[in-house]
Amino acid sequence: MTLVIAVMFLSKKIIEQNLPNLNSFKLPLMKNNIMSKLSRKEFIYQIPKAELHLHIEGSFEPELMFEIAKRNELKIRFKSVEEVKEAYKFNNLQEFLDIYYEGAGVLIHENDFYDMTWAYLEKIHAENVLHTEIFFDPQTHTERGIAFETVFNGVYNALQDGEEKLGISFEIIMCFLRHLDEASAFKTLESALPFKDQIIGVGLDSGELGNPPSKFKNVFAKAIEEGFLTVAHAGEEGPAEYVWEALDLLNVTRIDHGNRSLEDSKLVERLAEEQMPLTLCPLSNLKLCVIKDMKDYPLLDMMFKNLMCTINSDDPAYFGGYLSANYLAVAEALDLDNEIIYQLAKNSFEASYLSDEEKDAMIQKVDDFYLENQ
């Protein structure tokens, strides 16, 4: 009897929720809700998902930093891993960037870049990330005299091994550092041309305030001419105006972060209409004081406004967690149910650069997981 009442109650609840994308799943949902096997955390860590906003240099863990510094006979200004972690307290993006560029300074040889990338892949493999589209910042290294090829080959070879051995597919996006000038970005684009077939797009990162997308409109136009897709960090610390510029002047296919778009209702309307993906990074936003508390995270507001939201880790070694930790942090703070997490996981593939067939195959895996585990 209790079971019958429970089934009736749950059916009513599900019908009331009336989520458009879940209509075909009502029956399995009802059945499995009663026998829910996984905790929220397990559900998040196990659901198939993609990552679309990850700076590979931001996955450089202090332990590996010490190991690589030692083998390259370089000194780090910190005495221990604990001391490094203690320094990871930031009031804004620039404070983080200063220490992030310093950390990357121990990467010299191709195998250093390989090891850093491989360590990231092993981490995400353990939490069922099936596809990743990573950023790398060539200028962080070429400015210190490291050859573009050294950086690229190390990262690329690890990604290829990751695809072969761990089954993680990938794309590479090369970011221009926006605190440098457009001439330097042009030089970087030139260096990337021999690797054009292996780099799907160009992006824009580093200190946003005072470095609007318009500063890079010519180099982005050239990149598009050469066949690259474009993305840009916009609206992380910078105003909504920068998001407009990224759309109109850089012709981006995704906005990285985009939080401050919410300050401009016309912009929100446009982003929703175009289903322009936003690659959101909750733990990054918390650590860089874009939000005060995870409870203030505007994810539900954004989803309610029909924005195409995805969850990502940005710089996991610095911000306290990889992809699933980001899902979990928002899920706990906003008390998200599995249906929202399922939608976010699907969005991560939908907003990716996979082909339509590949997207369908990945989303089928997400659907299967959801039906099995809801």
Query: Of 310-339, which residues contact ligand ADE (CB under 6 A)?
Result: 314-315
**Which residue is nearest to Zn ion, using beta carbons?**
314
Q: CB 55 → ligand ADE: shortest distance, Å?
A: 4
233 interacts with ligand ADE by CB under 6 A: yes
Kindly tell me which residue out of 236, 242, 349, 374 binds ligand ADE, with binding defined by CB under 6 A.
Answer: 236
Integer Cα distance of 222 and 226 in angstroms = 6
CB nearer to Zn ion: give 112 or 314. 314
CB nearer to Zn ion: give 246 or 366. 246
If we measure between CA atoms, which residue out of 281, 342, 368, 351 comes closest to residue 43?
Answer: 342
CB nearer to ligand ADE: give 154 or 238. 238
If we measure between CA atoms, which residue out of 341, 201, 314 comes closest to residue 259?
Answer: 314
Integer Cα distance of 205 and 175 in angstroms = 6
> Do residues 206 and 236 make contact, with C-beta atoms less than 8 angstroms apart?
no
Site string for ligand ADE, 62-101 (x = CB under 6 A): -------------------------------x------x-
205 interacts with ligand ADE by CB under 6 A: yes
- Kindly name the residue from 57, 61, 110, 236 that is annotated as catalytic: 236
Q: CB 299 → ligand ADE: shortest distance, Å?
A: 17
Question: Catalytic residue at 236?
Answer: yes
Integer Cα distance of 267 and 238 in angstroms = 14
Q: Which does 133 bind (CB under 5 to 8 A by kind): ligand ADE, Zn ion, none?
A: none
Site string for ligand ADE, 10-39 (x = CB under 6 A): ------------------------------
260 interacts with ligand ADE by CB under 6 A: no
Integer Cα distance of 196 and 233 in angstroms = 21
Q: Which does 206 bind (CB under 5 to 8 A by kind): ligand ADE, Zn ion, none?
A: ligand ADE
Site string for ligand ADE, 143-182 (x = CB under 6 A): ----------------------------------------
**Which residue is nearest to ligand ADE, using beta carbons?**
205
Q: How far apart are the first and last CA of the chain?
A: 23
Q: Which does 93 bind (CB under 5 to 8 A by kind): ligand ADE, Zn ion, none?
A: ligand ADE
Integer Cα distance of 39 and 36 in angstroms = 8
206 interacts with ligand ADE by CB under 6 A: yes
188 interacts with ligand ADE by CB under 6 A: no
Q: CB 314 → ligand ADE: shortest distance, Å?
A: 5
CA torsion angle for 181, 182, 187, 193 (degrees, to 10)?
Answer: 140
If we measure between CA atoms, which residue out of 251, 245, 318 comes closest to residue 281?
Answer: 318
Where on the chain is the footprint of ligand ADE (CB under 6 A)? Answer: 55, 58, 93, 100, 205-206, 233, 236, 284, 314-315
Residues involved in catalysis: 236
